[in-house]
Structure 1
Amino acid sequence: MKINTKYFGEIEIQESDIITFETGIPGFLMETEFVILPLSDDKVFHAMQSVKTAELAFVITNPFLFFQEYDFSLEDSVVEQLAIERVEEVQVYNILTVRDPLPDTTANLQAPIIINSKNNFAKQVILNNTEYQTRHHIFEKTPAQQKG
């Protein structure tokens, strides 16, 4: 099927690549179908593109590429909702706020995107009782940058 995208214009996608957020995502409850498209050749950055709304795309990344110690537990209700049977089925992404200059880019570690790769069910989970915030710098800051 063909969709219009924010970063790539009109493209062809496979229906099997669509991930489904049963109840949408916070702030976009009517947006339930997305596709993940690579933004960089190294596949570090991706666009989570709405299938329905061309202008709606979130820049996302695998948090473990930047935060090796990132760790959290999913509530049983989330595991059931996404029909997760094995940890190997779970993909985790975080939405980025891309800034200029790029080193000021931050990741929302408090609300990861959880995808069951077996059935493409997804949910943005809000982590409570955690030290994670909505804006963690993904690039190390030099002492000069930290002053500014």
Structure 2
Amino acid sequence: MKITSPVVGEMEVSADRVITFQAGLPGFEACRQFTLVHSADSDSPKLFVLQCLDDPQVAFTVTTPDVLGLNYEFGLTDTEVATLDLASADDASVLLIVSRNDASAPIHANVMAPLVVNTTTRRGLQKIIGKVDTSVTLKAVA
């Protein structure tokens, strides 16, 4: 599949790089197929672009919680496990959507709605968490 994104430019995405969010993402329910992209000049990237394949205008910057110094746990319902087709917790990867208003503003991570991706089946969902004990704001991510 070939797409042209204002964020990552023109790119070819093979079927084995597609992550499917069966219900889409809250506010972006029509966006169900995504791929993860990172800068080619980094062997161990800290930030990724979650690029929508259904609507190339939609892209989110994401990172893993450990990059932000976070180690938090949350449970998944039986329905969520089934949606992910998750056979082992080791196959689950957690991503956080990060944003900032402008280059001088702090980076904000959405810890209340992490993305969970089954790295084997490439199925994902956004887990809405009712409450966590902390809010994370960082001034810079190296």
Specify if TM > 0.5. Answer: yes
SS in 2 for 1:16: helix
- How much has 1:98 moved relative to structure 2? 2.5
CA distance in 1, matches of 2:54, 2:73: 32
CA distance in 1, matches of 2:58, 2:134: 25
1:37 matched residue in structure 2: 37
Larger radius of gyration, structure 1 or 2?
1
Q: TM-score, normalised by structure 1?
A: 0.84
Q: How many residues are aligned here?
A: 138
Cα RMSD for the two superposed structures: 1.9
Pick from 84, 91, 94 the counterpart of residue 92 of structure 1. 94
- Specify every segment of 5 or more residues in structure 1 that has no aligned partner in the other structure, as ranges: 141-148
Provide the residue aligned with 1:143 in structure 2: none
Which residue number in structure 1 is paired with residue 20 of structure 2?
20
Per-residue deviation at 1:99? 3.5
Aligned 1:1-148 pairs, distance under 5 A: 1-39=1-39, 41=42, 42-101=44-103, 104-132=106-134, 136-139=136-139
Identity %: 25
Are the structure 2 counterparts of residues 105 and 4 from structure 1 closer, same or farther at C-alpha, using a change threshold of 3 Å? same
- Shift of the alpha carbon at 1:132? 5.0
Q: Which whole-Å deviations, capped at 9, do the CAs of 1:94-116 have from their partners, x for residues lacking one? A: 10112433560110000000000
Indicate how the Cα distance of structure 1 residues 102 and 74 shifts in structure 2: closer, same or farther if over 3 A, else same: farther
- 2:65, 2:71 within 8 Å by CA — same for their partners in 1? no
Letter of the structure 2 residue corresponding to residue 10 of structure 1 = E
Alpha-carbon distance in 2 for matches of 1:67, 1:77: 29
- 2:112–2:131 contact (8 Å) kept in structure 1: no
Does the CA-based 8 Å contact 1:66-1:139 persist in structure 2?
A: no
Superposition deviation, residue 51 in structure 1 = 0.4
